[in-house]
Chains A and B, each alone.
Chain A
């Protein structure tokens, strides 16, 4: 079965900032990670230093997105 959606996840302070942990958008509506951000946050400004991942690998904002992908946005990491 072909998934036509892109799953979008937000973590930590960015989750609180955008007011949602997870959403889905139609893959046909967004071709890049930057476009996924625009659509899933209703055009909020992307905070400086935001990290982005596609299918759990770090990418840049212009990275292409395909149906079935999981796109994540989060602030700089602070583990350890």
Chain B
């Protein structure tokens, strides 16, 4: 299980491979479910120039760890990985990577969905968008 907050841009698929290659579930997994969330250049009908992601250091990691442990209790999974960006980013930049490994696909699918939904509702992150005519905090987490 790994939780990581990145202050600079990261390449999710490289991180995924790097983690998988050093993990101790080699030969045991038949399924890998991967979710990558990226920054759009539009939101709520407006063009977005860039975005700043703020977090609550300490509590964010605590809750990502908490939901990872919950997923491991609820489903028969082998391992999970969550990487989340903070700081300033541009459209197309990856924001979040969630990956789950399991012997069979159902657990990996379900646990990865659970991790994303719980991350979005409980992990203390906040997005601020820069538009042409000023900044605004994102209020709706769709």
Write out, one digit per residue, whether chain A residues 15-52 have a CB within 8 A of any chain B CB (1) or not (0).
00000000000000000000000000000000000010
Q: Does B139 contact A (CB under 8 A)?
A: yes
Per the CB 8 Å criterion, the residue count for chain B at the interface is 27
In the assembled complex, which residues on chain A have CB atoms less than 8 Å from the CB atom of B120? 77-80
Per the CB 8 Å criterion, the residue count for chain A at the interface is 16
Q: Does A4 contact B (CB under 8 A)?
A: no
In the assembled complex, which residues on chain B have CB atoms less than 8 Å from the CB atom of A12? 54, 126, 128, 137
Report whether over half of chain B's contact residues are helix, strand or loop; otherwise say mixed: mixed
Pairwise interchain contact B56-A74, C-beta atoms closer than 8 A: yes
Can you list 5 A-B pairs with a CB-CB distance of less than 8 A?
A: A78-B137, A78-B140, A78-B141, A79-B125, A79-B126
Q: How far is the CA of A42 from the CA of B58 in the complex (A)?
A: 27
Q: Does B23 contact A (CB under 8 A)?
A: no
Q: How far is the CA of A5 from the CA of B95 in the complex (A)?
A: 36
Q: Does B37 contact A (CB under 8 A)?
A: yes
